[in-house]
């Protein structure tokens, strides 16, 4: 079984030294959330994930969730662990105190998301969608709905899902057919089928609150005719107690490559009673509150699985002996594989990407809180723009790098990594869904380029580039950092050229743009990681004498990133600007 230790030192370093957003630091609601509180929460989270949740990964993979007589049964140990999970208040960590939550910021809860993802992604998914559903209802539900449903969701005794896709539509939600018929009492009756519903049913909670996209009888066609409905598995009486079973049933659960402990369901809605959330025909925009949060969290899933893969590969490389290294001092026998240059390069590649991603997600967590709670409308809007820009980047880059890192970890283990005994191949299988669900990574790249990059009302990408340029300028004045700041400056210029190329091609060759979207997303992602690493370097040199071992590690890891990872931008750029004619004109037999 894979082992795991939560990277508390790195998380606390970020919380204490990289909490550098003045707008975030001015938020009154988080004034009392200091380092001592953060450390206490994260230490407790580490104990939970390392001791209680981690063993569930293997249990869920070997004994998956199953459907018996219309009821989904979760894997062994899940019910007991979930009971402890909600008793200790982990579902409520970031929820509003008005509904029983603890009100912690995403600068703390995102670290917990990473830990849970590393320990057991399957188990995590049973509560993760609940937080997304909670946020959607909080922002778009009326007061009566919030009072009726949110307290039990925050407590964790009720869970939540999002029900979007159907057999007929996949990602193209404009084709969905689920119908919602209005009733005299203002409720609706929903009929249709939803597929690929994560945690669509389980035996962990008393009730499941489904958020369902559907069409009213008078809805216009396409995405403009989609409304959002809250449909409980068990109906809820006016006093908040449970009533009769609603018209929701599980048709089947998927047999999957990974996350086998999580029940991915086909759900049937047969005249199920539901309540409209938000405005009629505006359901997709309401659901995006949940979807955008989930996309960032999916990125954190990739980060968590990358971290546990790296830890196990590093530990194995310090134990496994094979071959002679170029500088071998061993007279008889083999050297440890960590002494081989290629293994060291692979491990540093993992480490530099993981720590850069964690710093980037921490920066994004601060921006998210500013976008939600700052009093100044202009500041709030700018932060919201940065979150919008970086959401597809974090979702796609972190999950794609998760595939690379879990694969490389398996490679370091060699043949043993391919067997089930070590638990490494499971990390690869579990992560494989992350580039697919919540909008495939190609969809994310298209969203980034066609919706976020090209914006007639504002130049969001230009504003972000200015942030990076400011960080470069500041660090070019520091002797130790100057060479790496200049490297980032060089690749930022390439990225700006790439951006201008896309804007020009958008006018007359959208196929060229479409063929370049994935490359552009990766280029912007590596720039964002470089931006994050510059921030880390700035602190590392200033604080060096306070913790020499820790900061020397940071400086050397950053040096690897700038010399070995950042240059990937070159190949993505050159490949993309070669155009698309030879792609679109190719005749497949």
Which active-site residues does the annotation give?
Answer: 438
CA gap 60, 70 in Å, rounded: 20
Alpha-carbon gap, residue 526 to 532, rounded angstroms: 10
Q: What angle do CA 225, 298, 361 make, to 5 degrees?
A: 115
Helix (H, G, I), strand (E, B) or coil at 331: coil
DSSP code of 175?
Answer: G
DSSP summary character for residue 97: G
Q: Pull the structure tokens for residue 398.
A: 């972190």
What the block records as the tokens of 191 is 């009929």
At residue 182, what are phi and psi to the nearest 5 degrees? -70, 140
Q: Which two tokens stand for residue 575?
A: 């490949």
Question: Do residues 201 and 209 touch, judged by C-beta distance below 8 A?
Answer: no
Rounded Cα distance between 109 and 293, Å, is: 12
| β partners of residue 193 | 268
Report the number of secondary-structure helices (H) and strands (E) in the chain: 20, 11
Question: Counting Cβ atoms within 10 Å, is residue 329 exposed (0-12), middle (13-18) or buried (19+)?
Answer: exposed
DSSP symbol at 281: T
Instruction: Give the start-end residues of each E strand in 152-226.
Output: 158-163, 179-182, 188-198, 207-216
User: Rounded to the nearest 5°, which phi and psi values hold at 195?
Assistant: -120, 165
Quick one: which of 397, 93, 429 has its CA closest to 256?
429
């Amino acid at each position: 079984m894979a082992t795991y230790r939560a990277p508390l030192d790195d998380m606390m370093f970020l919380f204490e030294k990289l909490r550098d957003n003045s707008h975030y630091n001015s938020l009154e609601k988080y004034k009392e959330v200091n380092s001592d509180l953060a450390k206490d929460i994260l230490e407790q989270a580490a104990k939970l994930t390392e001791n209680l949740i981690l063993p569930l990964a293997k249990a869920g993979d070997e004994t998956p969730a199953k459907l018996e007589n219309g009821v989904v049964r979760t894997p062994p140990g899940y019910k007991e662990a979930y009971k402890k999970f909600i008793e200790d208040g982990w579902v409520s960590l970031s929820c509003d105190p008005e509904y029983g939550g603890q009100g912690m910021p995403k600068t703390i809860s995102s670290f917990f998301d990473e830990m849970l993802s590393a320990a057991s992604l399957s188990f995590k998914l049973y509560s993760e969608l609940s937080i997304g559903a909670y946020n959607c209802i909080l922002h778009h539900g009326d007061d009566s709905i919030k009072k009726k449903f949110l307290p039990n969701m925050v407590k964790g005794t009720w869970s939540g899902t999002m029900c979007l896709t159907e057999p007929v539509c996949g990602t193209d939600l404009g084709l969905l057919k689920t119908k919602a018929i209005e009733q005299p009492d203002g409720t609706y009756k929903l009929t249709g089928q939803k597929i690929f519903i994560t945690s669509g049913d389980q035996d962990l909670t008393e009730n499941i609150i489904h958020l369902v996209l559907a069409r009213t009888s008078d809805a216009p066609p396409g995405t403009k005719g989609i409304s959002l409905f809250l449909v409980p598995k068990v109906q809820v009486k006016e006093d908040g107690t449970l009533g009769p079973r609603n018209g929701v049933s599980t048709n089947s659960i998927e047999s999957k490559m990974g996350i086998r402990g999580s029940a991915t369901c086909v759900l049937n809605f047969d005249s199920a009673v539901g309540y409209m959330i938000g405005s009629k025909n505006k359901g997709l925009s309401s659901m995006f509150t949940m979807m955008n949060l989930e996309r960032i969290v999916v990125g954190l899933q990739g980060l968590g699985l990358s971290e546990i893969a790296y830890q196990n590969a590093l530990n194995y490389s310090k134990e496994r002996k094979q071959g002679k290294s170029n500088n071998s001092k061993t007279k008889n026998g083999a050297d440890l594989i960590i002494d081989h240059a290629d293994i060291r390069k692979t491990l540093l590649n993992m480490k530099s990407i993981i720590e850069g991603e964690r710093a980037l997600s921490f920066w994004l967590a601060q921006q998210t809180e500013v976008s939600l709670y700052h009093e100044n409308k202009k500041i709030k809007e700018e932060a919201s723009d940065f979150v919008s820009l970086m959401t597809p980047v974090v979702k796609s880059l972190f999950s794609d790098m998760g595939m690379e890192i879990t694969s490389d970890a398996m490679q370091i283990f060699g043949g043993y990594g391919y067997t089930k005994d070590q638990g490494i191949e499971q990390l690869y299988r579990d992560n494989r869904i992350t580039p697919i669900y919540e909008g495939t990574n190609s969809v994310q790249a298209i969203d980034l380029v066609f919706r976020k990059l090209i914006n007639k009302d504002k130049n969001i990408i230009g504003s972000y580039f200015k942030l990076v340029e400011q960080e470069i300028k500041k660090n070019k004045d520091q002797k130790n950092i100057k060479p790496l700041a200049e490297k980032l400056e060089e690749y930022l210029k390439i990225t700006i050229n790439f951006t201008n190329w896309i804007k020009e091609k958008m006018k007359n060759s959208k196929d060229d743009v479409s063929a370049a979207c994935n490359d552009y997303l990766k280029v912007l992602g590596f720039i964002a990681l470089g931006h994050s690493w510059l921030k880390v370097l700035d602190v590392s040199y200033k604080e060096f004498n306070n913790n020499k071992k820790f900061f020397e590690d940071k400086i050397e890891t950053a040096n690897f990133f700038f010399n070995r990872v950042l240059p990937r931008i070159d190949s993505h750029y050159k490949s993309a600007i070669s155009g698309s004619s030879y792609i679109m004109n190719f005749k497949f037999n």
